Amino acid sequence: MTSVSRIPVAVLGATGAVGQAFVRQLADHPWFVLAEVAASERSVGKVYRDAARWLEGTLPADVAGLVVQPCTPDSVRAPIVFSALDSGVAGEVEAAFAQAGRLVLSNAKNFRMHDDVPLVIPEVNGDHLALLARQQELRGWAGAIVTNANCAATVIAAALAPLHEAFTVTKVVAVTMQAVSGAGYPGVPSLDILGNVIPYIGDEEPKIETELGKLLGRYANGTITPAAITVSAHANRVPVEHGHTVCLTVGFERAPSVAEALDVLRAWRGHAGVAGLPSAPASALTVRDEPDRPQPRRDVQEGRGMGVTVGRVRADTLLDLRLVAMAHNVVRGAAGGSVLNAELLVASGVVHRETGALQLGALPGTP
Ligand code: NAP
């Protein structure tokens, strides 16, 4: 058997909560090798083990000694760049990398809603990656930017995608219970969150309300037509370490019975080509029958943090159905989702399997 070399990749914002999740997700990855880490001036020039306050598990030895680089395309050379940057800086930095010919997989909000930028959860709308051809045409970048969704929007979109495909979702009320790790590190002060619930997360509700339509929208001829769904979101911070839980009340064009909804959720496999990728969970969705699941403590590690668990599917008194969905915000909702996007691009030939070079001609619909 011939051995295939791994593609060098970099993480921008590598010292933060999501950056560290990238380091864990990329450890021993079969296709990618983490070759460079970058962060703010505060960290530049330090070795990673000194710059990052390592939060979870064992820091991989081959990353511990990497010297933290500035977030510029001259300093960071990898063809694939995972960005865990704060949104205050992500816009300018990610555009500079895309202009310099790199594939940027971003977790920040800056480009998510741009018409020519794919906002992708691979199982839900992997076909939206085709938008990259339009992005290149419009922007003339040698590289490209692909984004993944807000972490709560990710949970909601994954739970609703099968139901939307089958019955057309029209209205959603989403009440979130979001983990503290969603606020980064050091995040929310302990005296604000211990034994408490904070009924406000800055800028979160508008992200949930706008991103869902794009995520569940249809791609055709270089355009996404957003799904016509009215969303009302209540975002709450709760004293949970990892795992965003969302209570959903949903209205449909054709209301399913509870049994029909459960059948559709159980049968859902998601976008073809995702199953079997290195970071893909064994099941795109896990449906629990127990009346008290999903729970972050019991279910957050489903599919090595990449699973989305749903339960409590029942009839509703105001709209049609109620259900609860939960997933790991830092893995499924951030770093793991980004790595899965990159894997899908490699598997579909849009990124060269050995060099990491972009080959946009491999996208469906390109001449
Ligand atoms: P975080 O823990 O605060 O980390 C922020 C990272 O950005 C750090 O590595 C920091 O480096 C770097 N940074 C800050 N200012 C910079 C600058 N001027 N130049 C270069 N690097 C700079 O935040 P996080 O939770 O990891 O979130 C990162 C991004 O992911 C955000 O855009 C967030 O909205 C998004 N996101 C987070 C989650 C989640 O669950 N946490 C989920 C989805 C998306 P230093 O350590 O050197 O300061």
**Confidence at residue 1, expressed as pLDDT on a 0 to 100 scale:** 41
Query: Amino acid identity, residue 143?
Result: G
40 within ligand 1 shell (Cβ under 6 A): yes
Block residue for tokens 């509703």:
316
Active site residue 151: yes
15 within ligand 1 shell (Cβ under 6 A): yes
How far apart CA 308 and CA 323 sit, in angstroms, is 13
**Confidence at residue 229, expressed as pLDDT on a 0 to 100 scale:** 98
329 within ligand 1 shell (Cβ under 6 A): yes
User: Which residues in 208-246 are b (16+ Cβ under 10 Å) and which e?
Assistant: bbbbbbbbbbebeebebeebebebebbbebbbbebbbbb
Residue nearest (by alpha carbon) to ligand 1 atom 23: 184
Measured in Å, residue 275 CA sits from the centre of ligand 1 at: 29
The answer to whether 266 touches 166, Cβ cutoff 8 Å, is no
How far apart CA 92 and CA 98 sit, in angstroms, is 10
Tell me the three state secondary structure of residue 144. strand
Contacts of 302 (CB under 8 A, 6+ apart): 281, 286, 308, 309, 327
The answer to whether 24 touches 334, Cβ cutoff 8 Å, is no
17 within ligand 1 shell (Cβ under 6 A): yes
The model carries a pTM of 0.97
Q: Report residue 137: phi and psi, to 5°.
A: -60, -45
The answer to whether 38 touches 86, Cβ cutoff 8 Å, is no
Average pLDDT for consecutive 10-residue bins of the chain (367 residues)? 81 97 98 98 98 96 98 98 97 98 98 98 97 95 97 98 98 98 96 98 98 98 97 98 98 98 97 96 96 98 98 98 98 98 97 94 68
Q: Report residue 39: phi and psi, to 5°.
A: -160, -155
Domains of the chain: 3-149+334-362 (3.40.50.720), 151-328 (3.30.360.10)
Token code pair at residue 348: 């579909």
Strand order, beta sheet including 80-83: 69-70, 32-39, 7-12, 80-83, 103-106, 144-147
